[in-house]
Chain A
């Protein structure tokens, strides 16, 4: 079993952000798996989405249930084989899992950043990740990969640092969010911001957590990550207790209600409210075509990486249509691109789940990368 060890790197030099603000004295949490080869050609960066971290694969020593969020994809003998590749997971700025975030002390004030934490964009995160790679002595990535918001970062890597990226693997992602998608994010944000315990983002000082808002945010998010079919299959109209209706408007009646409340409660225990606002905003803002009059083909002209794109037919939050827009823009630029549209039932969540076709395509793609960069087997699968 792969044992993961979280690490942290401090950066004293200020990082200039897209907003015009900057952040100084920050640190990034990260983990690495596998061995960097002598040519330094086998590095793979994994970017995370909303509710994840640098803990991508493996487990922590003595904690059997602490598997990384993409442990089914990454590890010894897995599709992204850590016996061949040196894989890096990094936690983004503004997150609540280790890297500098709104709950940490603002060096300018000596108090937690709270609502003053600078607004982050996908481009800012990528710039911060690039600094980490510099510190690790990695000039060029064999591949950068991610799903959903992580896919946006992988795409952005290919635009911001085209020479540093061999391949970009973009799963269940999009060139920007649709109005409906921004709308879901806004409902979630309003739930948090209007929670009386939010205190304008400075709830740390009041020693409270806007749990009600976080719960609702998670509930609505969760609904959009699943498909109608999967929800019906999993819960249908099943009642939580017995066969008889209780005729109550406020108690839990249906299993789906119980499930959503459970997910909401769990989330509110560990996720930071300001982080939720920051990350959903980064999602909203991402739009590489914006600086090219909305022309995605022109926006992607800068990318020289080879691409693998994957989408899932039942994913209505990041639908196949959006991935096809990316494919088309890459085709217009005559870039190397492969695209798999997996007929999986699980909606957006499918990108985190096991599906033989999905895993098979990614495995085959990384076998190809491995041949290209000469990523020989370096470790043992033991």
Chain B
């Protein structure tokens, strides 16, 4: 999971008072923050029982769903912002869910670990899969079934005719606009249909 600095940086991309759908909302911390600090409202989608309970406890609306089964419950353009923070890499149907994100939200914001961050490149050049603070798993036990780069994410968005509104990296809570594919451990893409 992304650290607090990363998601706070992303939270500031969400306009004040937005209606937000947070796909893979975890324990609801992001939505809680958006509700309390930015006057937002909305729902989280989560599959894990313990996370669902954590959301309910903190008063965050949560709907227990498997994202791989799609977002048919949600109407077109029914949210200002749809977030996918550290979610894409866990999805079997990552491409479908990306398209669904753009259908349901006027704006989509995807953040996921950038495999092309330079320490990862160094590690692979040395012949080993990277194990870092951002990608803490061993290759054989990682829950990240989709491994991609900042550049890959842009290509996937373009392939689905999504309009890229912004694209940058985040490193230690700071926005990285210069060579994000090399210098940022988290890749962020803001897009619309």
Contacts and interface: CB of A to CB of B under 8 A. Distances in A.
Contacts of B49: 340, 342-343, 357, 360
A365 B61 contact: no
Contacts of B188: none
A324 B53 contact: no
Given A328-B73, A331-B74, A336 B61 contact: yes
B64 interface: yes
A340 B57 CA distance: 13
Interface string A352-371: 00000100110011011001
Given A336-B61, A340-B64, A341-B64, A360 B53 contact: yes
A119 interface: no
Interface in A319-350: 324, 327-328, 331-332, 334, 336-343
A250 B58 CA distance: 57
Interface in B43-92: 43, 49, 52-59, 61-65, 73-75, 78
B32 to A, nearest CB: 12
Contact of A368 (B19, B59, B64, B65): B59
B73 A338 contact: no
A342 B53 CA distance: 11
A145 interface: no
* Binding site secondary structure of chain A: helix
A357 B53 contact: yes
Contact of A324 (B43, B57, B73): B73
Given A339-B64, A340-B64, A332 B75 contact: yes
A52 B60 CA distance: 33
Contacts of A334: 19
Interface residues on B, range: 20 to 34
Interface in A274-297: none
Contact of B56 (A331, A341, A361): A361
A339 B57 contact: no
A211 B63 CA distance: 44
A364 B59 CA distance: 9
Contacts of B19: 334
Nearest to B66: A341
Interface string B17-30: 00100000000000
B61 A338 contact: yes
A308 B55 CA distance: 12
A216 B46 CA distance: 42
Contacts of A338: 52, 55-56, 61-63
Nearest to A309: B63
A331 B57 contact: no
Interface of B: 19, 43, 49, 52-59, 61-65, 73-75, 78
11 contacts: A308-B56, A324-B73, A337-B63, A338-B55, A339-B62, A340-B56, A361-B52, A361-B53, A361-B56, A365-B56, A371-B59
Given A341-B65, A368-B57, A368-B59, 12 more contacts: A308-B56, A327-B63, A328-B73, A332-B75, A337-B61, A339-B64, A342-B49, A343-B49, A360-B49, A364-B53, A364-B56, A368-B56
Interface of A: 308, 324, 327-328, 331-332, 334, 336-343, 357, 360-361, 364-365, 367-368, 371
